[in-house]
């Protein structure tokens, strides 16, 4: 009996010490002015699930909207399954299943059903084929291609797509370091230990300790997880362009080869694309460094996959609306989101007009690809 009393005192003392430590750190961060806050704190914590298996990934559509779960595939993808039916039949007798894999550009924030670039593409494909197209979007904002590859490999049999289009962006180069799930080794991708990944730990603690989530310490931990290699988990530095390129070149090649092999085994057509970088389309916005990064990704995709551009037709960039400066364009027609996007000018997400513009170009290039 005495033993259990001592044990109880130790446990209570431990938790009381943690409480004092928590309050003390919170007070210090506020008082010193050293507290920082992640820009994407609420976006990720509310919609995603932090897991050592994927670092983090969006909850499924059925999890987020249990009263609006109409297809079995919505147990796995984060968005409603969209069906494009150009025929006079009420039911789809013949259909093609297309899956778009990617990050926030495929997520297409601030759009409704039918407005994303993937929806524009899928609708045009249905009209061309004159049969139904079922569209799946497997995407989560802020993820690198490591996480996208991992979840796709887990779900490919359940979703059984006919066509897969994998969307990349320049920030994958950094996300694949900060949120590395694989290490390139001996011409293979090897799953790595992720329990000491700063992004995972910060998100996991905030999600599972409600008192931490809205605290100064919780927000600061999310900031550290996204910006600092606190536990020395990153495979290379994110501040050295040479090592960024060398590491990602090897990893991208292996990932794309892996997808190509899976495509043959599972019998689906596999393509890649690159989300349009605002400052490479709107030429009055300077972006030398971002352009270098985006061009590197584009070159790697062209070399290692069946690449389809969404901001070029053939070798020519689209002259969006025939204009190059935002003050010359009706705000409703400007292809990038200027009001709600917190990213800097030059690297913003597509507006509704942009989703339509780039989805249309992607489809035109796809048609050129399959015809020739």
Q: What is the mean pLDDT of the chain?
A: 86
Q: Distance between CA atoms of 349 and 69, rounded to whole angstroms?
A: 27
Instruction: Count the Cβ atoms, other than its own, within 10 Å of residue 341.
Output: 18
Q: Look at residue 326 in the predicted model and tell me its pLDDT.
A: 46
> What tokens does 26 get?
């919170």
What is the C-alpha to C-alpha distance for residues 99 and 161, in angstroms, rounded to an integer? 6
Classify burial at 332, counting beta carbons within 10 Å of its beta carbon; exposed 0-12, middle 13-18, buried 19 or more: exposed
**Pair 337, 349: CB distance under 8 Å:** yes
For the sheet containing 132-139, what is the strand order? 82-84, 132-139, 95-102, 163-168, 269-274
CB 163 within 8 A of CB 113: no
**Which is nearest to 100 in space by CA: 126, 54, 134?**
134
Helix axes 352-371, 117-129, angle to 10 degrees: 40
Residue 96's DSSP bridge partners are: 133
**Per-range mean pLDDT, top range of 160-169, 193-202, 327-336:** 160-169
> Does residue 317 carry a pLDDT above 70?
no
pLDDT for 83-123, tens place per residue?
A: 999 987 778 888 999 999 999 999 999 999 999 999 999 99
**Contact present, 293 and 345 (Cβ < 8 Å):** no
DSSP class per residue in 82-132: EEE--SS-SS-SSEEEEEEEESHHHH-TT--TT-SHHHHHHHHHHHHHTSE
b/e map 57-94, b = 16+ CB within 10 Å: bbebbbeeeeeebebebbebbbbbbbebebeeeeebee
Better-scored residue on pLDDT, 80 or 26: 80
* Of 282 and 237, more confident: 237
pLDDT of 291-308, one tens digit each?
999 999 999 999 999 999
- Higher pLDDT pick, 272 / 342: 272
Residues 248-293: pLDDT tens digits? Answer: 999 999 999 999 999 999 999 999 999 999 998 887 888 889 999 9
pTM score, two decimals? 0.90
Read off the tokens for 77. Answer: 């993808």
What's the CA gap between 197 and 6, in Å, rounded?
36
């Amino acid at each position: 009996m005495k033993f259990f009393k001592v044990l109880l005192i130790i446990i209570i003392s431990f938790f009381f010490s943690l409480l004092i430590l928590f309050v003390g750190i919170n007070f210090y961060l506020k008082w010193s002015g050293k507290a920082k806050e992640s820009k994407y704190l609420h976006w990720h914590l509310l919609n995603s699930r932090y897991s050592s298996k994927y670092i983090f990934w969006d909850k499924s559509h059925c999890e987020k909207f249990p009263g609006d779960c109409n297809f079995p595939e919505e147990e796995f993808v984060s968005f409603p399954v969209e069906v494009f039916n150009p025929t006079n039949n009420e039911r789809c007798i013949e259909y093609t299943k297309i899956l778009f894999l990617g990050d926030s550009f495929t997520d297409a924030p601030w759009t409704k059903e039918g407005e994303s670039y993937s929806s524009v593409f899928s609708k045009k494909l249905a009209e061309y084929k004159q049969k139904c197209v079922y569209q799946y979007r497997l995407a989560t904002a802020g993820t690198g291609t490591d996480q996208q590859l991992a979840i796709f490999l887990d779900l490919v049999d359940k979703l059984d797509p006919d066509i897969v289009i994998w969307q990349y962006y320049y920030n994958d180069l950094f996300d694949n370091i900060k949120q590395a799930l694989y290490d390139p080794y001996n011409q293979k991708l090897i799953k790595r230990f992720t329990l000491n990944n700063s992004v995972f730990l910060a998100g996991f603690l905030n999600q599972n300790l409600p008192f931490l989530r809205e605290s100064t310490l919780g927000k600061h931990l999310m900031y550290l997880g996204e910006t600092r290699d606190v536990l020395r988990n990153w495979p290379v530095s994110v501040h050295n362009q040479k090592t960024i390129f060398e590491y990602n070149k090897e990893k991208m090649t292996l990932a794309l080869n892996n997808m190509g092999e899976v495509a043959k085994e599972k019998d689906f057509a596999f393509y890649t694309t690159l989300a349009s970088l605002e400052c490479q389309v709107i030429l009055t916005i300077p972006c030398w460094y971002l352009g270098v990064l985006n061009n590197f990704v584009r070159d790697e995709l062209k070399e290692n996959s069946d690449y389809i551009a969404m901001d070029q037709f053939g070798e020519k960039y689209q002259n969006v609306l025939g204009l190059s400066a935002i003050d010359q364009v009706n705000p409703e027609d400007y292809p990038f989101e200027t009001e709600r996007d917190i990213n800097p000018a030059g690297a913003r997400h597509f507006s509704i007009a942009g989703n339509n513009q780039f989805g249309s170009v992607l489809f035109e290039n796809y048609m050129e690809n399959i015809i020739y």
